[in-house]
Amino acid sequence: MARDINILLIDDSDVDNFINKAIISKEDNISQITTMTSGREALTYLSGIIDKTEAYPDIIFLDIKMPGMSGFEFLDEYVNFPDTLTDHCKIYILSSSMDSLDSEKGKEYIMVKKQLTKPLAHHIIGDLLNED
């Protein structure tokens, strides 16, 4: 893949964000990794860069079980963003618990490409970055 990739990690756990950022940063074509600790914080951030397509994330890794605003509640608001941005950005659910109800609910969101189990693995990141 020739172009650099912007990543957004949304997880209420600073430790998980630290570990996942470290794993992702080993990839050659990552230009930026931004971490947010809540869905609300992430929506505010994304709203602030809505007119800056070059800064908008190519990939979002989203935790589901977060206090205040769950990952699903984030997705419920994210669907209202312009299609030009949401079509460009791939979202991967990243959760430590993959119960079947969460898995089924995740499939209801067209922008969710896959559901992954924490922590991320280096070989998985490489595969995801090379997907179209």
Mean pLDDT estimate for the chain: 87
Q: Would the pLDDT of 106 be above 90?
A: no
| CATH code, domain carrying 55 | 3.40.50.2300
| pLDDT tens string 43-76 | 999 999 988 888 899 999 999 999 999 999 999 9
Secondary structure, 3-state, the chain: CCCCEEEEEECCCHHHHHHHHHHHCCCCCEEEEEEECCHHHHHHHHHHCCCCCCCCCCEEEECCCCCCCCHHHHHHHHCCCCHHHHCCCEEEEEECCCCHHHHHHHCCCCCEEEEEECCCCHHHHHHHHCCC
Question: What is the tally of structural domains in the chain?
Answer: 1
| pLDDT for the residue 52 | 85
Q: Which domain holds residue 50?
A: 5-129
